A = this chain, B = another copy of it.
Amino acid sequence: MVDLRKLRYFVAVAEERHIGRAAARLHITQPPLSRAIHRLEADLGAALFHRIPSGVELTEAGAILYADARSLLEQADRTEARVRAAVGPATLTVGSLADTAELVAGRIAAAFRRLRPDVSVHVHESDLTDPSAGLRAGLVDVALTRLPFQDAGLRNHVLHAEPVGLVVRDDDPLAARPAVQLADLPDRRWVQLPTGTDPVWRAYWTGAPDGDGHGAPMRTVQECLQAVLWSGMSALAPLDQVVPAGLVIVPVTDRPPSRLVVAWPAAGSSPLVRSFVRIAAETYRRAGTRGD
């Protein structure tokens, strides 16, 4: 009947004296919090807050509950921490597609380490062959990677969307163009991705209509860039990709942005994985919205 979640909500509202602000602090929206407080009041058969124009204020019964709820929640947290400490550190294996980890993992890792210091994180970096970054193979628990890939049994949350561009040498006639359309380009020699690469992924990242390319297959982003530099191949990359001197990225207007995601198995994901996903989403949401 009375559960810890509602008590946490209640404490937040009591301290903020404002349902909207409390909702923001709890990272939910106002209506569910409003409803949760109503339910708690119904459960206890007591009005906990007076609704006043500027927000809410505790009733007498609310004050009594607040006095106890704080210590109750603290005790619950201590209990949980004690059990987690007894069972030893949990481990989480994070997959990372090529260089995506560089882009986001730092920020996420900091937040995750702060919130879940008891978890030891292993990182498994995979090459361009597998955009699921080891998820499909069961090598990792959760992955930081890019869409699109065949998502059979996988779920994802978009952390950041970045337009893609064509990687060319700075002496390429296209280099001076402010933007290009892939549809307008004459045939080019696209980099080849290894056989067995996810076809959806391959189709997205190579401009060739059949998703096929030329030359030796490239297994890393760096290899692709070097192929452009040395062999005059063409490649696509996110606009924020750091490229060696001598290369430029020309925005491509007729291809949807590349979405950087955190992905996890749809079924059987542990609470630890969910926690990681939530922290990643939250960390990047703040960053994405320019500091909330």
Q: Which of A32-58 contact B (CB under 8 A)?
A: 42-47
The reply to whether A84 and B3 form a contact with Cβ atoms under 8 Å apart is no
Contact residues in B for A5 (Cβ distance below 8 Å): 3
Contact residues in B for A271 (Cβ distance below 8 Å): 1, 42-43, 45
Interface status of A87 (Cβ within 8 A of chain B): yes
The reply to whether B87 and A46 form a contact with Cβ atoms under 8 Å apart is yes
Q: Which of A69-118 contact B (CB under 8 A)?
A: 69, 71-72, 75-76, 78-80, 82-84, 86-87, 90
How many chain copies? 2
Binding site secondary structure of chain A: helix
Contact residues in B for A79 (Cβ distance below 8 Å): 65, 68-69, 72
Partner-B contacts on A (CB < 8 A): 1-5, 42-47, 60-61, 64-65, 68-69, 71-72, 75-76, 78-80, 82-84, 86-87, 90, 270-272
10 contacts between A and B (CB under 8 A): A3-B5, A42-B271, A43-B271, A45-B87, A45-B270, A45-B271, A47-B87, A68-B78, A68-B79, A72-B76
